Amino acid sequence: MSTTFNLDTSTSRANPTPQPMRRLTVPAIRERKQDGVTQQPIVMLTAYTARQAQLLDAHCDMLLVGDSLGQVIYGLPSTIPVTLEMMANHAAAVVRGSYHSVVVVDMPFGSYEGSPQDAFDSAAFLLKESGAAAVKLEGGEAMAETVEFLVKRGIPVMGHVGLTPQAVNVLGGYKARGRDDAEADKIVGDAKALCAAGAFAIVVEGVVEPIAIAATKAVDCPTIGIGASAQCDGQVLVTEDMLGMFERVPRFVKRYENIAETIAGAAETYASEVRARTFPGEEQTYQPK
């Protein structure tokens, strides 16, 4: 899919004037890590809409259309109910809204675990429908065969180890992983298996910091930390979390703004002006000539 195209910026608020540029590629992300070192850490945030992508794109190397949209956008209790169609629609919007970042789309629960062929069918649907550059799937060594199957058939794959939200029912909750030796060894082993299978990067989520560092040192491909360590090769956060859109966020999130208060304050002011009949005013109405 072309990364530059013409938009009618005069008629749609959804399409501000674009800034055409060369989009980053999956190989460029993979090559950030050379001889075990990533000199320039990789910046990734989640995005679910075209406008959100437009605002984030210039500052990020990758935009993740995460299945976290189930909770963030749809108010679902977990990521489990998210569908392929939901992911494809939001990923397409993010692709339309971005020019620079590599767009990665999550494969939802149940769309890839059955077999490598099932995973290929789902991944092919997502990439064809959205124009995204890569897919992300959860799971470690057990998914290595699937990752290799996809990569050999031209589908770039980002892995995901540690706390894997789609497996929350098996894990027993959203708690940090890797606190005992056996689990720590498994996380590092999972990362190594995914990298060997061809994953171009691996998200390391919710693990104790020494294990995140060990996993980063153990693999040739970049690691993207979330609740892990600054020593990972990059970082990702759910954008709404770091903007302060929700009352409760994981302890590993840093709030860079409190947008929820801004929105609530603006709505309160609007409501008071409507009730006082001070809005709309002369500037917002059409008067006879």
Residues marked as catalytic? 205
**Cis peptide bond upstream of 280, omega within 30:** yes
106 is in an annotated binding site: yes
Task: Report angle CA 227, 90, 79 to the nearest 5 degrees.
Answer: 45
Integer Cα distance of 46 and 48 in angstroms: 7
181 is in an annotated binding site: no
Give 69's contacts (C-beta < 8 A, 6+ positions apart).
46, 48, 82, 86, 87, 90
Integer Cα distance of 102 and 64 in angstroms: 8
Is residue 175 helix, strand or coil?
Answer: coil
Q: Contact, 91 vs 73, CB < 8 A?
A: no
Is residue 44 helix, strand or coil?
Answer: strand
224 phi/psi in degrees, rounded to 5: -115, 115
67 is in an annotated binding site: yes
136 is in an annotated binding site: yes
Give 43's contacts (C-beta < 8 A, 6+ positions apart).
59, 60, 61, 62, 234, 235
Q: Contact, 272 vs 286, CB < 8 A?
A: no
Annotation: binding site for Mg(2+): 67, 106, 138
Annotation: binding site: 67-68, 106, 136, 138
Annotation: binding site for 3-methyl-2-oxobutanoate: 67-68, 106, 136
